[in-house]
Amino acid sequence: MAADCIFCSIIEGNIPATRVYEDADAIAFMDRTQTVPGHVLIVPRQHAANLFEVDPQAYARLFAVTAQVARAVKAGLNPPAISVLQNNGREAGQTVDHLHVHILTREAHDGYRMNWDDLHANSEQLERWAASIRENL
């Protein structure tokens, strides 16, 4: 646990949270900011700032819990759709340095938008990026 981490404080029970689920590996709780109604966060109990600092098995377990909670959100709140979001780094929108996953209920005109239209690349650029990624796998 990190002494200055708000999510570690929630995990330890030092800060109240509306918990949805918990087990030995992770907890899920309602996000106080509620970007959209029913916004849930899933965090591993073990502190890691992001996916680059956690072992693959712990990350897999986090996403197993995420899938379980997402199904419960879908069944319990009946939104037309759900987004699952996991950010790594400030530029990606991560505001708490503890690995976490967002479950966001979605409506047709909820105002929450990810812009997929801004960046277009030709096949040569795509191949350069892919080659760089393959070299590091």
> Domain containing 68 — which CATH number?
3.30.428.10
Cα 56 to Cα 67: distance, rounded to the nearest angstrom? 16
Closest CA to 96 of 18, 11, 13: 11
On whether residue 1 sits in a domain, the answer given is: no
- Which residues partner with 84 through β-bridges? 103
Decide: 106 and 112 in contact? Cβ < 8 Å.
yes
Q: What single-letter DSSP state applies at residue 61? A: H
On whether residue 22 sits in a domain, the answer given is: yes
**Residues annotated as part of the active site:** 100
On whether residue 95 sits in a domain, the answer given is: yes
Of the pLDDT bands very low, low, confident and very high (cuts 50, 70, 90), residue 118 is low
On whether residue 42 sits in a domain, the answer given is: yes
Domain interval for residue 34 = 6-135
Of the pLDDT bands very low, low, confident and very high (cuts 50, 70, 90), residue 54 is very high
On whether residue 46 sits in a domain, the answer given is: yes
On whether residue 67 sits in a domain, the answer given is: yes
On whether residue 17 sits in a domain, the answer given is: yes
Q: How many domains does the chain have?
A: 1
Decide if pLDDT at 44 tops 80. yes
**Per-residue pLDDT tens for 73-105?**
999 999 999 999 999 999 999 999 999 999 999
Answering whether pTM is above 0.85, one says: yes
